[in-house]
Amino acid sequence: MAGQYNYSLVLVSVIVAAFASYTALDLASRITASRGSAARAWLWGGAFAMGVGIWSMHFIGMLAFNSPIPLGYDLLTTLVSLLIAIIASGFALHVVSRLSLSWQLLAIAAVIMGVAIVSMHYVGMAAIVLDPPLSYNSALVIASIAVAIAASLAALGMAFKLRLSSRWPRVLKFASAIVMGIAISGMHYTAMAAVHIDPNAVCLSGAVTDKFWLAGAVTSATIMILSVTLALSLMDARLAARTQRMTASLEHAHETNKAKDEFLAMLGHELRNPLAAISNALALLDRAELRNPSSQLARDIIERQTKHLRRMTDDLMEVGRVMAGKMTLHAEPLDLYACVTNAAAAMTASERARQHNVECYGESVWIQGDATRLEQIVANLLTNAFNYSPIGTSVVVRVQRSRDKAILTVTDNGIGLAADELPRVFDLFYQSNPEGSQHRAGGLGIGLTLVRRLVELHGGTIQLTSGGLGMGTTVQIRFPAIEHVNADKRAASADSHERQHKIVLIEDDRDVLESLRVLLVRKGHEVITAKDGESGLDQIKKERPDVSIIDVATPRIDGYKVAQQVRANKLPVFLIAITGYGESEDERRARSAGFDAHLTKPADLQKLEELLATAP
């Protein structure tokens, strides 16, 4: 082909090819990292940008040739060549974004892509309408096809390998883009060398334009498209990296939280086993005649400290449940004032409460609430007031209605709080200890945290105020009030006769087993014991008891499997699960395994007696 090249435009074409290659390498990783519609959007958006880049390199390379006659281009044919470039780019990006790529597939893909690029080039050349038409050197055409396939093979291979590389990614990507740009340019100029223009040819197209203006316009448009695409890719990569870090952080937090929950559950279980044995032993002492004052004193100390330890264990477990969102309320219409007075009356039986004067005032106000949790709220507030108030002072509890709110107020005359402490009083594990104060609360510092969470579960709000150090504190809770419920509370007449049952007791802790056995025998029940699940199941099958009390964490086979086997054999036994695990999920699991009831250690003996009274 007679004529010369404008080397400035040749350099521009190589730069455009390298820029398009760099963008394609960057896009390959985005396609792989995306899923669904996002991956398809990146694929076709990237195909358009990369196709425009390759086509622009080809078109600028054609404009770089100074032919002996002016040349024009058929617009439709030129657009077809651009479409081929876009399709070829889409195919290339689809191949390199695969999770795996064998050499056989790589070779096939290189042949298809190489032929597509060559087709783009020669269709673009066909857009030049001459008379006589262009002619080609067959050997050089074949060489251009070979170069295109080789360039495609190198480009696809580097793109795939680079996507999997994590070391020096930008340096390798830049070097690979230069190599790919030179390879693509080499194919183009080899194909250009195959073209021959007749010196006497006449251009039949009227679309003859200024080469440098057209080259500049095509270059500018291409650089803009590639730059925008690359910027979007980089932004998406940073966003994906940030999302990945956040996801990893959330997963770590989830695993940490899960480990904490498992630790608390295990801690509660391990603490409740000895608590159960001590509680049962206390119940036995209550039935004995302790004539020795020292023995009675020791018994009272054990009882007080056991209740204190049990309360701390329960609070620790429940604050973990409520903060993890695992606590559910069994809400029903109830009289808040009646609930509060019941809780206060129960508290006055403790030694610490007897050292203070608890005054209850108010009116009947109905709310939708969980009686157990509301009593827990009152108990924690009163305990907190006792702990921070001098002996002999009063604690005032008041219930009143204000429009649509039921208001519970607990006021003490204790050591009070400094202004800077008020925002922190509901924080987990926080304990006020004013300088110079002789009052030390003890405990774990979780009572008010638990109270706030329970209040929020009831749809209420809580506020703690204090006039300052030595001025006492006031806690005010507001619940949504409801209209008075005239519920018919006619209680079914209970059978006053205590039923005696044959009971199989399965428990691996020796102290819990023996103390509970003695308590049940003294109630007139016949008790058969077993220290593991397997022997306990054998006793149930052999003795056919009315009731079986089963620790779910027994060796050999656990209590859940024992219950499942009892139900599978259709044995008419009333099954009571007793366990140190007190999560609501544990109770649901016990019910689904076939248990009729679930008690948490240390078991409330009154509740156990009530269950036995209802057992068939």
For 504-531, the DSSP string reads EEE-S-HHHHHHHHHHHHHTT-EEEEES
Q: pLDDT, tens digit, for every residue of 179-204? A: 777 877 877 888 888 888 777 777 77
The neighbour count for residue 165, using CB atoms within 10 Å, is 13
Residue 212 banded pLDDT, cuts 50, 70, 90: low
Question: Tokens for 148?
Answer: 């295109």
pLDDT at 478: 94
Residue 221 lies in a domain: no
pLDDT at 495: 44
pLDDT at 461: 93
Backbone φ, ψ for residue 230 (5° rounding): -65, -40
Taking alpha carbons only, the member of 62, 117, 59, 41 closest to residue 84 is: 117
**Domain range for residue 298?**
262-327+498-616
Choose between 611 and 290: higher pLDDT: 611
Q: How far is CA 458 from CA 274, 328, 424, 585, 616, in A?
A: 33, 10, 22, 21, 36
Type of residue at 235: M
Query: What is the CATH number for 390?
Result: 3.30.565.10
Does 476 have pLDDT greater than 50?
yes
Backbone φ, ψ for residue 312 (5° rounding): -65, -40
Residue 218 lies in a domain: no
pLDDT at 126: 82
Is residue 198 located within the same domain as residue 277? no
Asked if 201 contacts 130 with a C-beta cutoff of 8 angstroms, the reply is: yes
Is residue 460 located within the same domain as residue 547? no
Residue 257 lies in a domain: no
Q: Given 482, 508, 530, which residue is the final one in a domain? A: 482
Question: Tokens for 361?
Answer: 């005032």
Tell whether omega for the bond before 602 is within 30 degrees of 0, i.e. cis. Answer: yes
Is residue 375 located within the same domain as residue 392? yes
User: Left if phi > 0, otherwise alpha if psi is -120 to 50, otherwise beta: which for 511?
Assistant: alpha
Residue 31 lies in a domain: yes
**DSSP secondary structure, 545-587, as one string:** -SEEEEETT-SSS-HHHHHHHHHHTT---EEEEEES---HHHH
Choose between 472 and 606: higher pLDDT: 472
Mean pLDDT of 422-447: 64
pLDDT at 433: 63
Is residue 354 located within the same domain as residue 420? yes
Separation of alpha carbons 18 and 180, rounded Å: 6
Question: Tokens for 564?
Answer: 């499942």
Task: Tell me what percent of the chain is helix, strand and coil, each rounded to the nearest 5.
Answer: 60, 15, 25
Residue 255 lies in a domain: no
Is residue 313 located within the same domain as residue 344? no
Residue ranges of E strands in 319-380 = 332-335, 357-362, 366-369
Is residue 194 located within the same domain as residue 80? yes
Question: Tokens for 586?
Answer: 């544990």
Mean pLDDT of 303-325: 67
The neighbour count for residue 442, using CB atoms within 10 Å, is 10
| CA 344 to the chain's CA centroid | 40
Among the ranges given (25-39, 220-234, 367-381, 574-588), the one the predictor scored with the smallest mean pLDDT: 25-39
Type of residue at 512: V
Residue 247 lies in a domain: no
pLDDT at 1: 44
pLDDT at 497: 45
Q: Between the ranges 102-111, 209-218, 527-536, where is the mean pLDDT highest?
A: 527-536
User: What is the number of structural domains in the chain?
Assistant: 3
Is residue 315 located within the same domain as residue 423? no
Does 440 have pLDDT greater than 60?
no
Angle at 316 between CA 329 and CA 507, to 5 degrees: 90
Residue 238 lies in a domain: no
Is residue 477 located within the same domain as residue 517? no
| CA 88 to the chain's CA centroid | 42
Which SS3 state, helix, strand or coil, does residue 194 take?
A: coil
pLDDT at 287: 66
Type of residue at 345: A
Is residue 290 located within the same domain as residue 353? no
Choose between 29 and 60: higher pLDDT: 60
Residue 567 banded pLDDT, cuts 50, 70, 90: very high
Which SS3 state, helix, strand or coil, does residue 136 take?
A: strand
**DSSP secondary structure, 220-246, as one string:** HHHHHHHHHHHHHHHHHHHHHHHHHHH
In sequence order, the 6+-apart residues with CB closer than 8 A to the CB of 286 are none
Strands 332-335, 366-369: pairing kind? antiparallel
pTM to 2 decimal places:
0.43
Separation of alpha carbons 222 and 62, rounded Å: 16
The neighbour count for residue 220, using CB atoms within 10 Å, is 10
Mean pLDDT of the chain: 78
Q: How far is CA 286 from CA 44, 278, 503, 518, in A?
A: 82, 12, 23, 13
Does 600 have pLDDT greater than 60?
yes
Angle at 232 between CA 230 and CA 237, to 5 degrees: 95
Is residue 503 located within the same domain as residue 572? yes
Is residue 407 located within the same domain as residue 455? yes
Q: What are the beta bridge partners of residue 504?
A: 528, 548
Q: How far is CA 503 from CA 500, 506, 533, 607, 615, in A?
A: 9, 10, 15, 16, 11
Q: Given 482, 511, 535, which residue is the final one in a domain? A: 482
Q: How far is CA 130 from CA 114, 408, 582, in A?
A: 27, 97, 90
**Alpha-carbon Rg for the chain in angstroms:** 42
Q: How far is CA 28 from CA 18, 55, 308, in A?
A: 15, 19, 64
Backbone φ, ψ for residue 331 (5° rounding): -80, 145
Strands 130-131, 574-579: pairing kind? unpaired
Q: pLDDT, tens digit, for every residue of 362-376? A: 888 999 988 888 888
Does 498 have pLDDT greater than 70?
no
Residue 360 lies in a domain: yes
The neighbour count for residue 297, using CB atoms within 10 Å, is 11
Is residue 91 located within the same domain as residue 127? yes
Question: Tokens for 372?
Answer: 């157990």
Mean pLDDT of 122-150: 83
Separation of alpha carbons 11 and 595, rounded Å: 82
Query: What is the CATH number for 281?
Result: 3.40.50.2300
Q: Between the ranges 30-39, 171-180, 395-404, 417-426, where is the mean pLDDT highest?
A: 395-404
What's the DSSP call for residue 409? E
pLDDT at 460: 92
Does 114 have pLDDT greater than 90?
no
Does 248 have pLDDT greater than 90?
no
Task: Encode burial over 598-616: b for 16+ CB neighbours within 10 A, e otherwise.
Answer: bbbbbbebeebeebbeebe
Q: Given 450, 482, 514, which residue is the final one in a domain? A: 482
